[in-house]
């Protein structure tokens, strides 16, 4: 029993070491990947519900990691956040998304918005507005085309400062969206105080429509509230015709989800949009 106990203990410490090694390896790989240009963006259309046309795109980060294929953000963003690598990574995303949007506009694309996810870490930088301004200037994208998505939790963790920071960003002439709305367990008071343009209803509330009546009530309430506050409202994760029908019935402004398109590489977009989306 004693021997078994010791073996168990040794096994346990070895696996902890193993986990730590994997983290270090991953961090090194992330750093190198950034230097070597292994990161890229895919884009998913944002659909206007009255015209049923794509009016914008959300940029979503991917890592083309040698030997590992295309790695989704869920597998590396948390570590990038912890290690601070999200800052250079986030600057890459902003720059790449703004220049892509500029090229699309020059090619005559009829879209209004490129939405970029801003991590909590980025948002907490005191000079974030200057950084965004610099990128807009470098890429030549008029600020009105850029929408920054900030999660409810990133805002809430930040207390009073959040409002100042949002105003500084808003003053650049861009638009602000609250991402994953409804998951932050926060007070709703901020909605009328902060200079926000749009809320994105989290996909967890959309997923079980039309079977989960509680979710349907929540979405109806959020859409109604957004309208009363003069905020745009978009539903995320729309996968079925039934979900689409319900959201249209609620007069939700916009939607995004696999029903319309998965996130796709930029070359497919937007020249082939109409073909891809069947419009
Ligand atoms: P998010 O910002 O909420 O982005 C939406 C996620 O839902 C994307 O996953 C998208 O591919 C996925 N999605 C879209 N439509 C559907 C649908 O109909 N059904 C389902 N089940 N999923 C759908 P993705 O690309 O894996 O990104 C995951 C998360 O990673 C994002 O969630 C965002 O929080 C983060 N992320 C992605 N790119 C960036 C980035 O450039 N910077 C930062 N800070 N975070 C990013
Ligand atoms: Ca987002
Ligand atoms: Ca979201
Ligand atoms: Ca549910």
pTM, 2 dp = 0.92
Instruction: Please identify, by atom number, the ligand 1 atom nearest to the C-alpha of residue 258.
Output: 18
Instruction: Please identify, by atom number, the ligand 1 atom nearest to the C-alpha of residue 202.
Output: 3
pLDDT band at residue 267 under the 50/70/90 scheme: confident
What is the average pLDDT across 106-130?
Answer: 93
SS3 at position 199: strand
DSSP H helical ranges for the chain: 2-35, 77-83, 86-106, 120-123, 128-139, 152-156, 161-170, 190-193, 213-228, 241-249, 273-277
143 pLDDT more than 90: yes
Q: Is the peptide bond before 210 cis (omega within 30 degrees of 0)?
A: yes
Instruction: Please identify, by atom number, the ligand 1 atom nearest to the C-alpha of residue 256.
Output: 15
- Choose the residue to mutate in 47, 58, 60, 94 for probing ligand 1, maximizing ligand atoms within 8 Å of C-beta: 60
- What residue's CA is closest to ligand 1, atom 3? 180
First to last CA, the chain: 69
DSSP 230: T
- What residue's CA is closest to ligand 1, atom 15? 257
What is the average pLDDT across 137-152?
Answer: 97
2 pLDDT more than 50: no
Q: Is the peptide bond before 270 cis (omega within 30 degrees of 0)?
A: yes
pLDDT for the residue numbered 279 = 46
CB-CB neighbours of 40 under 10 Å: 15
Two structure tokens written together for 155? 């805002």
Question: Could you tell me whether strands 39-48 and 254-255 are parallel, antiparallel, or unpaired per DSSP bridges?
Answer: antiparallel
DSSP 64: E
Show contacts of 119-123: CB within 8 Å, 24+ apart.
119/77, 119/81, 119/86, 119/90, 119/154, 120/81, 120/151, 120/153, 120/154, 120/157, 120/158, 121/81, 121/84, 121/86, 121/87, 121/90, 122/86, 122/87, 122/90, 123/150, 123/154, 123/155, 123/158, 123/165
What is the average pLDDT across 132-148?
Answer: 98
Highest mean pLDDT among 102-106, 239-243, 264-268: 239-243
For Cα atoms 13, 81, 15, give the angle at the middle one, nearest 5 degrees.
Answer: 10
How do residues 32-66 score in pLDDT, each as one tens digit?
999 999 999 999 999 999 999 899 999 999 999 99
pLDDT band at residue 96 under the 50/70/90 scheme: very high
How do residues 174-218 score in pLDDT, each as one tens digit?
999 999 999 876 678 888 889 999 999 999 999 999 999 999 999
16 pLDDT more than 80: no
Instruction: Please identify, by atom number, the ligand 1 atom nearest to the C-alpha of residue 149.
Output: 2
239 pLDDT more than 80: yes
169 pLDDT more than 70: yes
Pocket residues: Cβ below 6 A from ligand 1: 44, 60-61, 72-74, 77, 90, 93, 117, 119, 179-180, 203, 237-239, 256-258, 263
pLDDT band at residue 153 under the 50/70/90 scheme: confident
Share of residues in the chain with pLDDT > 90 (%): 73
243 pLDDT more than 50: yes
pLDDT band at residue 1 under the 50/70/90 scheme: very low
DSSP 231: -
Angle between helices 128-139 and 161-170 (to 10 degrees): 20
Q: Which ligand is nearest to the CA of 212?
A: 4
pLDDT band at residue 268 under the 50/70/90 scheme: low
- Choose the residue to mutate in 43, 93, 117 for probing ligand 1, maximizing ligand atoms within 8 Å of C-beta: 117
pLDDT for the residue numbered 270 = 59
Instruction: Please identify, by atom number, the ligand 1 atom nearest to the C-alpha of residue 93.
Output: 41
SS3 at position 175: strand
């Amino acid at each position: 029993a004693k021997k078994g106990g010791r073996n168990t203990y040794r096994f346990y410490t070895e696996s902890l070491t193993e986990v730590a090694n994997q983290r270090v390896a991953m961090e090194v790989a992330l750093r190198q990947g950034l230097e070597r240009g292994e990161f890229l963006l895919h884009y998913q259309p944002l659909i206007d519900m009255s015209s049923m046309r794509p009016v914008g795109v959300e940029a979503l980060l991917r890592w083309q990691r040698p030997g590992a294929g295309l790695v989704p953000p869920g597998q590396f963003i948390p570590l990038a956040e912890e290690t601070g690598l999200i800052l250079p990574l986030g600057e890459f995303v902003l720059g790449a998304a703004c220049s892509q949007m500029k090229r699309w506009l020059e090619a005559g694309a009829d879209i209004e918005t490129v939405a970029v996810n801003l991590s909590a870490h980025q948002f907490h930088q005191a000079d974030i507005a200057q950084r965004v301004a610099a990128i807009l200037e470098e890429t030549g994208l008029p600020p009105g085309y850029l929408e920054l998505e900030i999660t409810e939790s990133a805002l809430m963790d930040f207390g009073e400062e959040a409002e100042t920071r949002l105003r500084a960003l808003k003053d650049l002439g861009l638009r602000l969206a609250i991402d994953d709305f409804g998951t932050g367990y926060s007070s709703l008071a901020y909605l009328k105080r902060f200079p926000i343009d749009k809320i994105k209803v989290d996909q967890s509330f959309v997923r079980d429509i039309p079977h989960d009546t509680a979710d349907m009530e929540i979405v109806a309430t959020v859409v109604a509230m957004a309208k009363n506050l003069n905020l745009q409202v978009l539903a995320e994760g729309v996968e079925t015709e039934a979900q689409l029908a319900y959201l249209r019935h609620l007069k939700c402004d916009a939607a995004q989800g696999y029903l319309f398109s998965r996130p796709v590489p930029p070359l497919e977009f937007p020249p082939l949009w109409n073909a891809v989306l069947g419009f």
